[in-house]
Amino acid sequence: MQEGLEKTPCDSRGRRKDLSFAFLMYGQARTLNRTHCSLFRNIVRPILDANTKRVHFFIHAEDDEDAWQYKSFMDELALKAKGRSQGGAENRNAIKKNASTPVSIQYTLRIGEIPEPSKRCIEILSKKYEKRVDKIVRGPKGSYPSELLTQLMYREASSKLMYAEKSSLDILILLRPDVEYADKIPAHFYLRLSPFFTSSSEMNTIHVPAWSSYGGINDRFMISTVGDAAKHYLSLYSGLCGGENNFEEGIVNKLPNRRKGLNAERIYAWWMKERGGYLVSTKLLANFVFYRIRRDQSIEDGPDGKLGRQFWLWNPSRSKWSDTLRRHYACTPLC
């Protein structure tokens, strides 16, 4: 049995009340300044309200003009949780931790330079990646595979901060800072005391949302027990490119060939199922919806604005688009 998952005290409803949740965030803070209210309301607060043991954020951030938002967000989160943020002076490129608040909210923040993926890995992935991405993704033609690998490096780096933590963690949540969360996370799934929680099948499963009406998996959010499946999911960069200075150990050459090319979601599905034998499920988060927001665009004009406006056509969210907009614009920016 995974360490930290032994039978533990429950509340009157039979729910586990001593679980520890780890949150992973990475890369550019982007529009966290405008989305932080939804992140607290729909992700963090439901977990705090369930009397969980503690919450720990592990953040590996890019050292850019928006990096301040991560620290500001953690300070704001501590205030909302009726705690006090403690910590020393700013120390860029170094890890710093704040003391535990009364509700056991902690964070580990590392701010550093942009990681550089293996050039050989970029070259091979570019040949296998779908070409239509150049029409829908900003940036120079052919640049997206490089950007994707950079994101995967950041993602893996944030997980290394978590795995370096000495204390036991039970549940892992991977999230992005640049999306407006419209629905509450189904935390009750993990908070109930059930044999299913500690079963080998659940330890080998990660839960992700579906990719809109296209089906498939969405790689922008993930929840899982802290087990082998989660570790495999988070090690995609090392799996493809061999980690730091070890390209020969990577398997990017073994990616399947597809006439229209591969995308990130297909690569993840292949990596989890074919190279790990793990299950990726979209059932738990079937009604969990979020909308991406770019720096220079409103939520309505953003890449997911059409999904919100066409709520009547296909949108599994339990929150009306108009209500999401109202809450989004009522959010006070970080400072």
Summarised one tens digit per residue, pLDDT across range 253-306 is 999 999 999 999 999 999 999 999 999 999 889 999 999 999 999 999 998 898
Give the pLDDT score at 82. 64
Give the pLDDT score at 311. 67
Q: Are 22 and 56 in contact (CB under 8 A)?
A: yes
Long-range contacts for 117-120 (Cβ within 8 Å, ≥24 apart)? 117/146, 117/149, 117/150, 117/152, 117/153, 117/237, 117/241, 118/149, 118/241, 118/242, 118/247, 118/250, 120/247
Give the pLDDT score at 85. 35
pTM: predicted TM-score of the whole model, two decimal places: 0.86
Give the pLDDT score at 245. 63
Mean pLDDT is highest, among 165-169, 187-191, 280-284, for 280-284
Summarised one tens digit per residue, pLDDT across range 141-158 is 668 999 999 999 999 999
Summarised one tens digit per residue, pLDDT across range 48-103 is 887 678 899 999 999 999 999 999 999 999 888 764 334 333 333 344 444 444 56
Angle at 115 between CA 109 and CA 116, to 5 degrees: 175
What CATH fold (topology level) applies to the domain 20-330?
Answer: Spore Coat Polysaccharide Biosynthesis Protein SpsA; Chain A (3.90.550)
Average pLDDT over residues 218-240: 93
How far out from the chain centre does Cα 135 lie?
A: 25
